[in-house]
Amino acid sequence: MHKLLLSSPLLLAFALSTACNGTNPAKPAAVEGTATDTAADKAAAPGDAKPVGPCIDYASKVCDAAGAKTATCDQFKAATELMSDKTCQAGIADLATTLGKIKATQAVCSELVTRLCAALGPKTKTCAMVTEKTKSFPTERCKEMGSAEGFPKVLEQLQQMEAANKPLSAEVLAKIHGADGASSGDKDAKVTIVEFSDFQCPYCVRASSAVSELKKKYGAKVRFIFRHFPLDFHKEAHAAAQASMFANSKGKFWEFHDLLFENQKALKPADLEKYATKLGLSAAALKTALSAGTYKAAVDADMALGKAVGVRGTPTMFLNGTRVENPTDAAVIGRAIDAVLTSP
């Protein structure tokens, strides 16, 4: 299975924030249940005078208690826009009652987190993710996930996620670090990063930008290996991957890689031939290679490796065999690199 497991709302919310997967997003999507722009938010845009009034104050106090990025805060802001100043003043006067009800509703999600973390392990990465993500969930979602029917399914999938987060074995690590993948940096570098990617995935553009930034910062100190994981609903991704391997055979992989991500919406065969010509490669030779499927086996081999190490969406990144939590964030990856480079 090469897509993220998405049958639970929790995993869906998590997946949408970081990867291309079975939801087939056309662009990075917002996570359901998080705060959205309201009139109050827009009124407080940088450079504008901060809005004042009892309803703004009422919403602010509730959001301070509920959490600024929660669905409760979002809904309350929207509700106070329809209230009169007199109603909001009355609400502030009886604020303790409102906050008490909010606390009671939050208890449902808090109980869910407690149960999941007890089963997963309180110090696991997956527990930390659950703790953070459920802060934005509406109460009804937590009730559904904590139900007799929902909880076992959610737990099973989270346990699979936790298993996928475990460091790779030496044998598996040797395979994904193999010389068959397109790479840059010193082959004996202390840090090796392996990225499984898809040229049509919008999140992979972000990962590509992060990698470019890191390559400039660390140079040969870090070895970067690119492996292909074209998702089946990205119809042009497999051919694009094959074309990049053609470029790799001519010593132009990274230049071709950059052109593909810069022109992600133009990956038809004619486009691929145009990029080859731009790099001084033979468009005719590329066309022949694509028709013959010369590099199809190489791409498929990368996909098989990805499935073997639990890749379910793109981008997925491993640093010395440990899965990177956010492969689109150069700062996050950089901190992980520094931790290894500065270790004894």
Domain containing residue 309: 171-341
Q: Is residue 95 part of a domain?
A: yes
Q: Which of 109, 144, 163 is the last residue of a domain?
A: 163
Q: Which of 140, 163, 186 is the last residue of a domain?
A: 163
Share of the chain above pLDDT 70, in %: 86
120 — pLDDT class (breaks 50, 70, 90): very high
Say yes or no: 152 and 196 in one domain.
Answer: no
Quote the pLDDT of residue 45.
45
Q: Is residue 231 part of a domain?
A: yes
CATH number at residue 308: 3.40.30.10
Say yes or no: 154 and 222 in one domain.
Answer: no
**Tens-place pLDDT, residues 54-95:** 999 999 998 888 888 777 888 889 999 999 999 999 999 999
Say yes or no: 85 and 145 in one domain.
Answer: yes
Say yes or no: 144 and 216 in one domain.
Answer: no
Say yes or no: 220 and 110 in one domain.
Answer: no
> Average pLDDT of 85-110?
89
CB environment 154-192: b (16+ within 10 A), e (fewer): bbebbbbbbeeeeebeeeebebbbeeebbbebeeebebb
From edge to edge, which strands make up the β-sheet containing 222-228? 182-184, 222-228, 191-197, 316-319, 322-323
Q: Which of 145, 163, 181 is the last residue of a domain?
A: 163
Q: Is residue 134 part of a domain?
A: yes
Say yes or no: 122 and 259 in one domain.
Answer: no
Flag whether the pTM goes above 0.75.
no
Q: Is residue 192 part of a domain?
A: yes
Say yes or no: 175 and 151 in one domain.
Answer: no
SS (H, E, C) 1-30: CCCCCCCCHHHHHHHHCCCECCCCCCCCCC
Q: Is residue 195 part of a domain?
A: yes
The number of distinct structural domains making up the chain is 2
Residue labelled with tokens 């392996």: 194
**Tens-place pLDDT, residues 211-242:** 999 999 999 999 999 999 999 999 999 999 99
Q: Is 50 in a helix, a strand, or coil? A: coil
Say yes or no: 13 and 134 in one domain.
Answer: yes
Element (H or E) spanning 193, and its range? strand 191-197
